[in-house]
Structure formats: structure tokens, C-alpha cells
Amino acid sequence: DAGVIQSPRHEVTEMGQEVTLRCKPISGHDYLFWYRQTMMRGLELLIYFNNNVPIDDSGMPEDRFSAKMPNASFSTLKIQPSEPRDSAVYFCASLLGQGFDDEQFFGPGTRLTVL
Amino acid sequence: DAKTTQPPSMDCAEGRAANLPCNHSTISGNEYVYWYRQIHSQGPQYIIHGLKNNETNEMASLIITEDRKSSTLILPHATLRDTAVYYCIVRRTGTASKLTFGTGTRLQVTL
């Protein structure tokens, strides 16, 4: 398996623009997580899905952020409108979900810069 | 999930064992100890986890004290490629329990 795939790897945009980040989890994994990493706040969980259904979005910073998972092999994280403080590395991770102690597999991340 | 405490940084000579400590004094009986690492500019990578017994895999060994209030991750023969931030995370058993990342330990392996 190719692992968790994220696109784009780098995104530079201007304040006010819409940004869409994409993630393809490992095939067969039931859970998908979105994280954000900044120098100030470290690595923090934004939202996660189970069988394409959002389970916990308490980490989503505000209404400008939204995430969807239309099917088992694709998820998006959208920021509209984007702001400079959204600049961060966004990671997607997936988890099999068949055991009590499964590990999360992380993608390579998308580095977002909002000017 | 219980909080963990790790030293902010450590150095290790290449070829020597790297011993990374972690305190989790408030851990409860149904919580595992997980270790992940993050090499610069990459996504976090799972290393090992355990509940109460010591564990070993191809990457590392995990030693958990009998009272489970602390643990040590051991990289037996550190290489330059092991330079990374290492995160100790306590996580409830059960699928999809959240991973809460702290600040971790920045391990620098030197020649």
C-alpha cells in the first residue's frame, strides 16, 4: 500500500482565498484524522471520522474550517476564507479500527502558507 | 487521557543506546503508553506501544515500570537517522481514541 496520501504537498495562497486540502487514507482503514501542526501550538487534532461519519470536531478552530469524507477513500479539509494564522502543516492520518490498540498512520502533510 | 512529561531535548552518540524517559504518573488501568517520532518535515511515525509488560520490536524497546507511572523508550543502537522529536502519549484502549501530542523530546544523534 502507498500509505496515506495527501495533496497538495505545499500550498501558498493569499488571505481571503479558499483552500482545499485532500487526503486518501490507507485502503480498508475505518478511521481518518486531520491534525494541524504549528510552532506555537504543536500537533493538535482537528477532527476525525469513523466510516465516513464525523465523530469529533471539537478541535476545529472556527466556522471557517470544514471537513468532509464523501467516501471511504477520500477526505477534504477546507478553509474559507483563509487567514495568515492558518499557516501550518496539516496532517491526515488513518487507522484500521479492528483492534483495541491500533496505530495511526500519518501522511506526509500539506504545508500551507497564507500570505 | 493522562498527561505525560518528557525532557525537552537529549543527545546521544551514534551507535550508543538512546534512553528516552517519560513520566505518566496519572495513568489509569485502561490506558496504553504509545511512542511516536517525527523526523523533520515528515508526518509522525508509530514506534511501539505497551500496556504493562515490556515490549520490543524491530525499532525499539519499551520498558514500563511496575507501577506504570513511567516508561523508557530504548533505541539500542542509535543512528543519525534516529534524530527526531519523540512523543510519549498515553491513550485509552479502544479504537480511535485520540492521540494528544505533547511537546516531546528532541533527540539529537551525533557522530
Residue-wise pLDDT for B21-47, tens only, equals: 999 999 988 889 999 999 998 999 999
With a cut of 90, say whether residue A1 has pLDDT above it. no
Task: Kindly determine whether residue B43 and residue A4, on different chains, have CB atoms separated by under 8 Å.
Answer: yes
At B57, give phi and psi (nearest 5°).
Answer: -140, -170
- Dump pLDDT digits (tens) for A22-64: 999 999 999 999 999 999 999 999 999 999 999 999 999 889 9
Task: Kindly determine whether residue A45 and residue B98, on different chains, have CB atoms separated by under 8 Å.
Answer: yes
Choose the mutation target among B34, B87, B98 for the interface with A, i.e. most A CBs under 10 Å.
B98
Q: CA of B37: which chain A residue's CA is closest?
A: A106
Q: Region A58-86: what's the mean pLDDT?
A: 95
- Dump pLDDT digits (tens) for B2-15: 689 999 999 999 99
Q: Which of A89, A93, A91, A90 is nearest to A105 (CA)?
A: A93
Residues above pLDDT 70, as percent of chain A: 97
Nearest by CB: A43 against B32, B41, B101: B101
Residue B94's pLDDT band, with cuts at 50, 70 and 90, is low
